[in-house]
């Protein structure tokens, strides 16, 4: 697998662009279109929230066909909690794009992100689709990635290449965070395209597997969005033979998808609202992998742990308190905690000032690694999060204004 | 029931005091003693965290006897995650106090709060107990309440009087918050005393009932402490006949305990770390009371909801997102949300700008009421929380330094 320049790449058979059409109150981009030149296999994962945006209701229904060709994404308005009008607007958005691009409405997916409870300004959406549709270009990915941002500070893109069945295939993705990030299927917006040929049911399984170790392993603030969606399109322009389940080609393709989703997931955490640090939390020695993930997620979600990380304070007692209350099998007197390379707790007891000093030094880095060993079994899991800063409060105290 | 002046009261048969003995790095008070002049019935609720401070391990064992006479409390050091030495130190603390005050060590409870992972400075504790023991006074409650504070900004005291069996009985309590506040038995330190005579098993049931609607219904940051403890002593100095379960006197006594615990619980939330608002969240129409409490707690714990409250932004979409993801039976199209007196969401859809304006106005108050109706059943619960401010981050980024 080869990494491409994430700022300048193309994927055969796809065009994309992003523009400002006035959905956002600022002059920032707010509408993107991703289009394949032919029908593609499509797989999606969607928020598990019972409160689902119109785009999610629509996308879940459409993705059952395993087919698609166009994705229209708007930022600045979630079109969630908008009732029948909201659903009608989402359908109309798909119809407008279908007409503009000469495809069937069923082939068009819509995705929205932004404030909940407001209706889409449909006249602006209509104009925006016409404008963006006229500008579609093979290298438009940075434009599209910019147009799906909300409180994100940087665009999130990734592209890789691999040899499958003797053909060079490309896989690329864009994503946006950066609040309401928490495990539970997809946890943001992410769109991945490839020119590889893959059967839709196979693509779906591959996506579920990749999601579990990427988007479902990151948390910014413990809140689950109403609009989360990850869509993958595979249009077959590379003309490879569709890989058989379990084949070597299949594994290579899975590795590409794993790399793309993990890269985007970590970009989302790095750009978590107000984040100053990327924090990797690994729990090993849990009774089973599920308990390991539960413990790691609990630590990653604790406001007390996250504020201590912002303060570069090796306050391991807060981690012990979370481990003891998160419902996993643990014993205080078996638990070890390591910050970076410094073991700071052994069998439940702090290792003193020198260890504390070394651990504190490791917290001064931009990337922080915390390792917890419960000594209860073989379960292991890794979760990524960020710290909790003044800036997070500032961003979220004023989000709608 | 009559409220007494919470700053100046006495409870027959009890003396108390608080002093500074050097456990805290500052010159603030850090050790309190509460002593009854005779053996009292004792009941306690303790943290459900699997990681328990030495004082909790000791207290849980001692409270099985249903008896006690003295409580020694230190702030500045949690004596948690301190292994065998920590447990030995807690026992020694009880022994020192027993000797100083001429009671049996079994009659002495210890409680600690502060940084996890550090050992108690036993020489200072010894001196402190001698000093405080010599100063014990009937009206020392404000001194004691001050000595158990950590990041608290004000002392938390309450006192009531009632007629039981023709006698005037007094009940009073002190508490400390203000971080790691979350439901799960007791959620902070709280000590309640009364001169009423009550059988220990009855006292225990009364306390459990009162706790459920007070300390177990407040959350500041979703983290559960290793040191939470609520202790009640009833020394019988009022010489009333012990009330029989179900009797009118019993109900009056329960009402006193409910009032004392609720007052202290709300004082804890008002003084939540960085809090600028007291927020009451009521969920009604849930499938059952447990689901109502789960939903209310989820809303009360959401960082996104709490930062919006700090920003006085009626961002009800975040509440909908929490309701949909917290695992309770709900339907978007049945859910109503009211801020203060302003209904802002009806059957899942926002009610527009005028409602939004009125709801926003209600958020400018120091006390905010949010009412959620799920229209699914008859379950109802109320939870209290505070907002999430810059100050919370500041306090917790620098707690150990």
What span, in angstroms and rounded, lies between the C-alpha atoms of B85 and B120? 9
* Chosen domain end from B270, B299, B329: B270
**How far from B239 is each of B143, B163, B166, B177, B234, CA to CA, in Å?**
28, 12, 10, 33, 11
The two tokens of residue A282 are: 């690994």
The per-residue pLDDT for range A247-268, each reduced to its tens digit, is 999 999 999 999 999 999 999 8
Helix (H, G, I), strand (E, B) or coil at B174: strand
Q: Is B354 in the A-facing interface, judged by CB distances under 8 Å? A: no
Residue numbers in B near A325 (CB within 8 A): 48-51, 184, 223-224
- Residue A42: strand pairing partners: A233
- Does residue B294 contact residue B322 with C-beta atoms inside 8 Å? no
CA–CA separation, B123 and B135 (whole Å):
19
Q: How confident is the model at residue B47 (pLDDT cuts 50, 70, 90)?
A: confident
CA-based nearest residue to B79, from B126, B125, B115, B48: B115
Task: Provide the domain count of chain B.
Answer: 2
- Contact criterion met (CB < 8 Å) for A226 and B321: yes
Q: Are A135 and A31 in contact (CB under 8 A)?
A: no
Do residue B202 and residue B144 come from a single domain? yes
Task: Give pLDDT, residue B393.
Answer: 78
Find, among A239, A267, A240, the residue nearest to A148 by Cα. A267
From A286-295, A392-401, B113-122, B124-133, the region with the lowest mean pLDDT: A392-401
Q: Are residues B100 and B127 in the same domain?
A: yes
| Chain A (156-195) residues lying within 8 Å, Cβ to Cβ, of chain B | 179-180, 184
Q: Is the domain of B333 the same as that of B193? A: no
Indicate if A94 and A161 belong to the same structural domain: yes
Q: Which of B78, B117, B311 sits opposite A398 (nearest CB)?
A: B311
Is B325 in the same domain as B218? Answer: no
Choosing from A82, A187, A211, A297, which is the catalytic residue? A187
Residue ending a domain, choose from B234, B252, B270: B270
For the domain that residue B331 is a member of, what is the CATH number? 3.10.20.340
- The structure's pTM equals 0.81
Residue A290 sits in the same domain as residue A262:
no
Alpha carbon distance, N-terminus to C-terminus of chain B = 44
Report pLDDT digits (tens) over B56-89.
999 999 999 999 999 999 999 999 999 999 999 9
- d(CA A135, CA A127) in angstroms, rounded, equals 13
Q: What is the pLDDT of residue B185?
A: 31
Closest CA to B234 of B197, B209, B189: B197
Cα–chain center distance at A298: 19
Residue among A223, A317, A324 whose CB faces B303 most closely: A223
So what's the ipTM on this one? 0.76
Measured distance CA(A362)–CA(A340) in Å, rounded: 6
Which positions of chain A have pLDDT values less than 70? 178-187, 220-224, 398-401
* Rounded Cα gap, residues B280 and B165, in angstroms: 36
Flag whether pLDDT at B175 surpasses 90.
Answer: yes
Same domain? For B259 and B305 the reply is: no
CA distances for B201 relative to A390, B206, B234, angstroms: 47, 9, 12
Does residue B50 sit in the same domain as residue B194? yes
Determine if the peptide bond prior to A178 is cis (ω within 30°). Answer: yes
CATH number at residue B117: 3.60.70.12
Can you tell me whether residue B369 is helix, strand or coil? strand
Residues B184 and B247 in one domain: yes
CA A271 to chain centre: 11
Whether residues A146 and A173 fall in one domain: yes
- pLDDT score at A400: 54
Contacts of B149 (CB under 8 A, 6+ apart): B28, B29, B75, B155, B176
Phi/psi of residue A381, nearest 5 degrees: -155, 150
Which of A237, A270, A303 lies at the terminal end of a domain, its last residue? A270
Same domain? B380 vs B249: no
Cβ pair A316:B49 closer than 8 A: no
* Whether B178 contacts B220, CB under 8 Å: yes
* Helix, coil or strand: residue B378: coil
Q: Quick one: A117 and A264 in the same domain?
A: yes
Is residue B374 pLDDT above 90, yes or no? yes
Cα distance between the two ends of chain A: 44
CB proximity list for A332: less than 8 A, separation 6 or greater:
A320, A324, A348, B50, B51, B52, B81
Give the domain extent around B187: 2-270
Q: What's the DSSP call for residue B8?
A: S
Is the confidence at residue B388, as pLDDT, over 50?
yes
Choose among B78, B117, B321: nearest Cβ to A51.
Answer: B321
Torsion of the alpha carbons at A174, A179, A185 and A189, rounded to the nearest 10 = -30
E-assigned strand segments in A208-261 = 218-219, 229-234
């Amino acid at each position: 697998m080869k990494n491409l320049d994430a700022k300048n790449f193309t994927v055969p058979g796809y065009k994309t662009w992003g523009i400002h059409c006035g959905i956002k109150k600022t002059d920032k981009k707010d509408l993107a279109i991703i289009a394949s030149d032919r029908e593609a296999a499509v797989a999606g994962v969607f928020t598990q929230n019972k409160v689902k945006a119109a785009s999610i209701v629509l996308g879940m229904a459409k993705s059952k066909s395993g087919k698609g060709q166009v994705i229209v994404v708007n930022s600045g308005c979630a079109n969630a909690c908008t009732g029948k009008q909201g659903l009608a607007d989402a359908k109309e958005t798909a119809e407008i794009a279908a007409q503009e691009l000469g495809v069937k409405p069923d082939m068009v997916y819509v995705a929205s992100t932004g404030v909940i409870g407001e209706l889409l300004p449909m006249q602006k959406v209509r104009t925006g689709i016409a404008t963006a549709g006229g500008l579609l270009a093979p290298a438009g990915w940075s434009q599209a990635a910019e147009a799906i941002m909300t409180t994100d500070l940087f665009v999130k893109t990734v592209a890789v290449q691999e040899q499958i069945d003797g053909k060079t295939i490309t896989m690329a993705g864009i994503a946006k965070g950066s609040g309401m990030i928490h495990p539970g299927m997809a946890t943001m917006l992410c769109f991945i395209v490839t020119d590889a040929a893959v059967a839709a049911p196979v693509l779906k399984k591959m996506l579920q597997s990749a999601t579990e170790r990427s988007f479902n392993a990151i948390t910014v603030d413990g809140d689950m969005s109403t609009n989360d969606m990850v869509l993958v399109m595979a249009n077959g322009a590379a003309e490879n033979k569709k890989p058989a389940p379990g084949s070597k080609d299949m594994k290579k393709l899975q590795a590409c998808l794993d790399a793309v989703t993990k890269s985007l997931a970590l970009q989302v955490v790095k750009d978590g609202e107000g984040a100053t640090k990327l924090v990797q939390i690994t729990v090993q020695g849990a009774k089973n992998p599920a308990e390991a993930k539960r413990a790691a997620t609990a630590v990653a979600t604790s406001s007390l742990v996250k504020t201590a990380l912002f303060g570069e304070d090796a306050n391991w007692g807060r981690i012990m308190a979370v481990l003891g209350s998160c419902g996993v099998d643990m014993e205080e007197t078996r638990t070890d905690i390591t910050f970076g390379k410094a073991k700071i707790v052994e069998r439940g007891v702090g290792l003193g000032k020198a260890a504390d000093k070394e651990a504190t030094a490791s917290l001064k880095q931009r990337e922080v690694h915390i390792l917890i060993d419960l000594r209860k079994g073989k379960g292991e899991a890794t979760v990524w999060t960020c710290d909790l800063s003044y800036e997070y409060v500032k961003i979220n105290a004023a989000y709608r204004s």
